[in-house]
Amino acid sequence: MSKEELHINHDGIRDVTQLGVPKMITLGIQHTFTMFGATVLVPIITGMNVSVALFMAGIGTLLFHVITQGKVPAFLGSSFAFIAPIIAVAQTHGMEYAQGGIVVAGLIYLILAGLIAVFGIERVLKFFPPVVTGPIIIVIGLKLAPTAVSMASSDWLLAIVAFLIVTAVSVFAKGFLKVIPVIIGLIGGYVFAVIMGRVDFTPIQEASIFGIPAFTVAKFKAEAILTVAPIALATMIEHIGDVLAISSTVKKDFTKDPGFVRTLMGDGLATALSAMFGGPANTTYSENTGVLALTKAWDPKIMQIAAVFAIILGLVPKLSAVISTIPTAVIGGISIILFGMIASIGARTLVENKVDFTSSRNLIIAAVILVLGLGGAIIPFKIGLFALNLEGMALAAIVGILLNVVLPEPKEA
């Protein structure tokens, strides 16, 4: 798809309507496949329903486009950042309470949007400098490392095959294939598992072709909320970075029109709506931004078409059954890369922003976030009958933000 094939509409966005319906649909499906691998991987790992995740990703994306006035070419898929707290809360309280924590996390986006509207983006972001957000992202990835290894260890042969496929595609593939290594790894690993006779096809045979996704309603508990909701502190910064990346790709400043207030509201409400009915948290997908850069076709209508296809996929239980038969080890092999990449992105945040670790202040902030986030620290609170435990990412993020506010900047800064 060349630039010359796409005219510019009145908003400065390359208009795809003159390409015709078949080509528009093809472009939309391309984005659906791009988000598919990562979006279904989150419910597979956490135990959420795949059909619900796909359905709510589509609904959430359309809601985002309504709130942002159809100006931002973004797709909202399942967020990896919430995997660890979802698993933890699901094991201790139940999945519905993990959903409740995600709902509150989505509503926190609205608080930041309100603060930005009142005080401006610069004053708010000063509480989330790279020395805080970088280590938080590292903790998110490394907390998931034992989960990846545990899944992979169920069958190392399958895990290694999936790992090698994703690695080969990421490093050696060209064009569009290079932006979908996860889905290729899933397909390749699954085919190898079938050849090795390690797939049970019974769930596929028993599933119906069409059906309503198994929605569940969120429930709320203070401990679950405090375990899950603080992850929004990291994902909101991720959202801001994604919007900046899309703006750079499209050469249009979405930070001003429609602005961070609308994009944060759209992302937050999409997340809250998804979790309220059984889906994972939503987030703007950088995978789809890669496709925008590759195709030069960045009309938001394409993302809206992709969202419709995601909804359609969510209404096909047979597809969910196929996905459920993917061996755990295949997911584990891919997760080794994905979770490590999350941690690596945190390290990249520190490097790209040239965080000075000769400064004792910065060393202390990063060190405390890493140790509290990874070390299993738990601080119990009890006021009368109200009791809760502050731990993991919640504890690390809160302490890191407080240290950043309290500790003085070096004089030379």
| Cβ–Cβ < 8 Å for 282, 238 | no
177-196 residue pLDDT tens = 776 687 788 889 999 999 99
Phi, psi torsion values for 380, nearest 5 degrees: -80, 140
Residue keyed to tokens 């309503």:
212
Per the structure block, which two tokens stand in for 258?
A: 């429609």
- Helical pair 156-172 and 328-352, crossing angle rounded to 10 deg: 40
The residue type found at 307 is A
Asked if residue 199 belongs to a domain, the reply is yes
E strand residue ranges, 99-177: none
Asked if residue 129 belongs to a domain, the reply is yes
Asked if residue 379 belongs to a domain, the reply is yes
Name the residue among 311, 259, 286 with its Cα closest to residue 28: 311
Name the residue among 34, 135, 46 with its Cα closest to residue 335: 46
Q: Is 90 exceeded by the pLDDT of residue 173?
A: no
64-117 residue pLDDT tens = 999 999 899 999 999 988 888 899 899 999 999 999 999 999 999 999 899 889
20-78 residue pLDDT tens = 677 778 778 878 877 877 788 899 889 899 899 999 999 999 999 999 998 999 999 99
Which has more pLDDT, 282 or 385? 282
pTM given for the model: 0.72
Residue keyed to tokens 């597979």:
44
Percentage of the chain surpassing pLDDT 70?
89
Beta-sheet pairing, 76-78 with 14-15: unpaired
Range of the domain at 139: 3-406
Asked if residue 411 belongs to a domain, the reply is no
- Residue 158: what pLDDT? 96
Handedness of CA 45, 46, 52, 53 (dihedral sign): negative
| Cβ–Cβ < 8 Å for 112, 52 | no
The residue type found at 250 is V
User: For the residues 220-233, what does the mean pLDDT come to?
Assistant: 87
Q: Is 60 exceeded by the pLDDT of residue 377?
A: yes
- Residue 4: what pLDDT? 42
- Residue 12: what pLDDT? 47
Which has more pLDDT, 338 or 149? 149
Question: 96-100, 163-167, 391-395: lowest mean pLDDT where?
Answer: 391-395
- List % helix, strand, coil for the chain (3-state, nearest 5): 70, 5, 25
| Distance separating alpha carbons of residues 355 and 353, to the nearest angstrom | 6
Question: 260-264, 400-404, 409-413: lowest mean pLDDT where?
Answer: 409-413
Number of domains the chain contains: 1
- Residue 176: what pLDDT? 62
- Residue 362: what pLDDT? 93
Name the residue among 220, 272, 265 with its Cα closest to residue 243: 265
Burial of residue 351, with CB atoms counted within 10 A of its CB: 0-12 exposed, 13-18 middle, 19 or more buried = exposed
Name the residue among 264, 319, 331, 238 with its Cα closest to residue 72: 264
What is the Cα 6 distance to its own chain's centre? 30
Top-confidence range, 84-93, 255-264, 283-292, 359-368: 359-368
Q: Which SS3 state, helix, strand or coil, does residue 386 take?
A: strand
Whether the ω angle into residue 181 lies within 30 degrees of 0, i.e. cis, is: no
DSSP state at residue 358: T
Q: Is 50 exceeded by the pLDDT of residue 6?
A: no
What is the Cα 363 distance to its own chain's centre? 28
Q: How many CA atoms lie within 13 A of 389 on its CB side?
A: 10
Q: Is 90 exceeded by the pLDDT of residue 262?
A: yes
314-369 residue pLDDT tens = 998 887 778 778 898 998 898 888 788 778 878 888 998 889 998 999 999 999 99
